[in-house]
Structure 1
Amino acid sequence: MTATPPQSYRSPSVPRAPRHPVRHATRHAIRDTLTLVALPVLAAPALLAAFAGGGTRRWFGGRAESQRAEAQAAKDAAAAAFYELDTAQRDLRISIETITAVDASPAARRAVADFEALGRRIDEASHQYINAVDAHDLDRDDLEASTAARARTELTQAKDELGRVKQDLDRFTDGLGPLLGKAETQLARLAPAVERARQGLLTASNALDTVRESGLRADDLAARLAALAPELTRLNQGAGQHGVPQTLERAERVARAAETVRVEAERLPERAAEIDHRLVSLRTRAQALTTRTGQVDPVLSELRRRFTAACWQDLQGVPEHAAENVRQAELKLKEAQAARDEQRWPDATALLSTVRALLNSTDESVSAAGDRLRRLNAVQKDPQQEIDRTRFAIRDAQRLAMAGRNTPDPRHARPLDDSVARLERAIGTLEGRHPDYWHFLTETEAVRRNVSRVVSQIREERGAAH
């Protein structure tokens, strides 16, 4: 069993060592935020008796008194060594508690195990010292010189052992530098992080109140903010209960979530106005598409009258499909308006996106009929323009393939030769009484796409070679 000297004791001959400023600050920070883990500390039963002056005695001269003085000096030196070791162990204990509160790594666990092993050595050295003190009453009037000499020897041995353990403790403390620095950095971040989370929640709550005062309910934002209340409770319970790393992570997560709620709350009036604008804009666009859809039938009629079936067959379903899309878009617009009136902002936004997709699809199909007629008119009037455009693309690619070469690479020459043949076949379809102009146009487009791929391949290969 070990004992600890009273906290009020101060040895007159051994001034207390100054506390390390970082350790001293950390001591208070940990005791404010953590529940301290029980670790071994020095103890010294009957230490008061060991240091007591103890009544009056008669003093005798001669060898006995000389030995008594030497023994008393050895006792004082051992007491000072004991006190220095006790102080160092207490300071180290704070460092270990700081590390274990923050770090659960193997290195931190090894540090705890090594500290416990040192604690056992400290206990043994302390027992040796206390036994030496208890074994000899240096205040006895009849103290013999031999007894005083033996006391001096035992107390000196106890002091030397305390000193050796203190040296080992100092070396161990020096080796904790990296672990302790990391732990103290995290502890220094803890209080500001928790405060940021609390302030973030307060700011988000104020922003939500401001929005509600303007007549917007923001129920979804209120629900998200309410869901953070348990997290705030855990933050208030402190790192001692939940751990420093976990509390840091929770504080940062809460701060981010609160900031998101604040930003969305402050943007809500703008979002409501934007939804109102989109409702009007899409409603107008739907009406315009209804008018344009009615113009598809006359276009199809002209296509049927002037061109072969292959030129317009794929457009037969456009009027019906466009009318159905517009009808669906108008239904979704009504649902979006209802969601906006009920302030279901996510639903309103999703419905408006659906309306936009429907109208985009309708716009493309309605435009396709008019575009088809325009292109067929152009190629019927002058197919040579399309032919020249395609031949120019092929010749340009052939010149690039031959640049810096006597013969073209077969990987490039073959697809270009195929493109030439394909163009000639497409030109051949224009002969006859009823040319398939649409097939001709799709073939020339396909030829130009293939030529463009060859050009890209040549440039990539030459770029990689350089």
Structure 2
Amino acid sequence: MTTGRAASRLARDLTVSVVLAPAALAAFALVAAPVAFTGGGTRRWGRGRAEESRARAQQAKDAAAAAFYELDTAQRDLRITLETVSAAEETPETRRANAGFATLGEQVDQVSHDYITTLDAHDLDAEELEAGAANRAQRELARVTDALVRLKGDLERFEQSLTPLVARAQEQLAQVAPAVERAKAALLAATEALDGARRSGLGADELAARLAGLGPELRALNEGAGRHGVRPTIQRAERVRRQAEAIAADAARLPERAAEIDRRLTSLRTRAEAISNRADAVGPVLSELRRRFMANCWQDLQRVPEQAEEAVREAGEALAAARGERRAQRFEAATGQLARAHELLGSADEAVSAAGERLRRLNEIAGDPSGEIERTRFAVRDAQRLAMRGRTVPDPRHAGPLDAAVTRLERAVTELEEGGRNPDYWRFLTELEGVRETAGSVVEAIRAGR
């Protein structure tokens, strides 16, 4: 707020007023005392008036210097307060507060300029200083002092208006240190967990890379909220803590994860061998289907042996890749390959099972279709009873699908009976499944409506 020249002059003036003034007054008393007895009355009176005016002007100068120092201190304190508030949160309130402080700062600069100009205009140490000049200096310094004191009061009142903002800022600032400490503690725990995994013979390169990736975040935390803001610092600390805790947990699970991958490798290899053996039996099943049933009952199963063989082969490749990733301790990649092998073996198992299940169902329906027919009729009648519950006339939305289902059922039974020695049993089974699905859909719609 002050220039280097003004600060030097202020320090000199304070020294003169506080240290040298008493000595100068004492010297003046010793010199002036004889004059009182030598008869120079007019000269003594004039010099006395000038010295009294100089002393009053010097007191006014000291008061102005003190007021200037207090105003400067109040402005610095208020600036620190606003910096703290702005760091804690960026809101319309803080922007208005900064704008208000800028306006007050302009007033402080103007008053400070007036103060320095007044000091430069009056040399109270000059020997030829007259009483009139000293009185003018006293008046102007008193005016400047009043302006300094008044503006200091404005600053204090402005600071009091910031109390709610300061309280919120202090509350947020109180969260910074604990949040940062939690983040650093989590990073330390992650480092120790990683070291433990390596001591057990696991490379943990993926986890080490993830931990190294948190280095820039840690540097930002060390730079503090003053540079990055309170709320962003708290959020960064929480993010670092969560990620570090996840790394520590993954490092602690590494031995168990490695053992689990080994178990899955063994299990899937055994399953692949079993499916391959079962696939060899699909050929005879297809032969029986072709011999005993019409083409529509088995045509969709023709490629099951080839499909199962291809799936088992691809699953074997995936398992080999998983073993390689396991040896390299790339557990994520190994887990992905195991998932692919599991999916391939599942599709192969389903295809192989479908052939045997088809033969079983066709044998059952060929021996006695009545059980399948009764099960389907019961499903339709149950849906009809539910549709009529509490009603004299069924809802058309329910009656229409159920009537169509009855017609479909009777048509399927008729076709089966008229099919001769080799009817289309598979069409009959799929038609009855469709009828049961229709009845089930009506039941769900009725219950949902109620």
TM-score (norm 1): 0.79
Q: Which amino acid aligns with 1:224?
A: R
Report if aligned partners of 2:88, 2:229 keep a CA contact under 8 Å in 1. Answer: yes
2:36 corresponds to: none
The residue correspondences of 1:292-371 to structure 2 (distance < 5 A) are 292-371=278-357
| Alpha-carbon spacing, 1:150–1:386, altered in 2? closer, same or farther (3 Å) | same
Larger Rg: 2
Aligned to 1:12: none
- Displacement of 1:367 in angstroms is 1.4
Using the TM superposition, give the Cα deviation of residue 137 of structure 1 relative to its aligned residue in structure 2, in angstroms. Answer: 7.1
CA–CA distance in structure 2, aligned partners of residues 196 and 64 of structure 1? 71
Cα distance change, pair 47–323 in 1 and its aligned pair in 2 (3 A): same
1:46 aligns with 2:12: no
- d(CA) in 1 for partners of 2:9 and 2:131? 25
Q: d(CA) in 1 for partners of 2:147 and 2:436? A: 94
1:132-174 CA distance string (max 9 Å, x none): 5666677999988876765565444334333432332223223
Q: Cα RMSD over matched residues?
A: 3.4
Establish whether residue 442 from structure 1 lines up as the match of residue 422 from structure 2. no
Superposition pairs of residues 54-93 of structure 1, within 5 angstroms: 54=21, 55-56=24-25, 57-58=28-29, 78=64, 81-93=67-79
| Per-residue Cα deviation, 1:280-304 (whole angstroms, up to 9, x for no partner) | 1111111211222122222222222
Q: Which one-letter code corresponds to 1:439 in the other structure?
A: R
Give 3-state SS (helix, strand or coil) of 1:269's partner. Answer: helix
Give, in whole Å, the separation in 2 of the partners of 1:248 and 1:446: 60
Q: What is residue 187 of structure 2 aligned with on the other side?
A: 201
Question: Residue type matched to 1:408 in 2?
Answer: P
Look up the match of 1:23.
Answer: none
Q: Is the 8 A contact 2:89 2:229 kept in 1?
A: no
The verdict on how the C-alpha distance between 1:49 and 1:366 changes in structure 2, with shifts beyond 3 A counting, is: same
- How many Å apart are 1:102 and its aligned residue? 4.6
Structure 1, 322-331 or 269-278: larger mean CA deviation: 322-331
Displacement after TM superposition at 1:183 (Å): 3.8
Q: Is residue 11 of structure 2 the alignment partner of residue 2 of structure 1? A: no
Q: Distance in 2 between matches of 1:226 and 1:130?
A: 57
What's 2:407 paired with?
421
Deviation at 1:407, TM superposition (A): 1.9
What is aligned with 1:37? Answer: none
Partner-residue secondary structure (3-state), 2:416: coil
Q: In the TM superposition, what is the alpha-carbon distance from 1:94 to its structure 2 partner?
A: 0.9
Deviation at 1:177, TM superposition (A): 3.4
Structure 2 gap segments, 5+ residues each: 33-43
Contact 2:104 2:155 (C-alpha < 8 Å) held by counterparts:
yes
CA separation in 2, counterparts of 1:331 and 1:311?
34
Counterpart of 1:95 in structure 2: which amino acid? Answer: T
Task: Supply the distance in 2 between the matched residues of 1:400 and 1:74 (Cα, whole angstroms).
Answer: 104
Same amino acid, percent of matched pairs:
58
Q: Within 5 Å, which residues of 2 pair with 1:245-284?
A: 246-284=232-270
Gaps of 5+ in 1: 6-42
Q: Kindly indicate whether the alpha-carbon contact (under 8 Å) linking 2:64 and 2:142 is maintained by their aligned counterparts in 1.
A: yes
Q: C-alpha distance in 2, partners of 1:107/1:271?
A: 53
Corresponding residue number in structure 2 for 1:225? 211
Query: Over residues 199-229 of structure 1, what are the superposed CA-to-partner deviations in whole Å (9 max), with x where a residue is unaligned?
Result: 3333222222221221222222223333333
Match of 2:199 among 193, 201, 213: 213
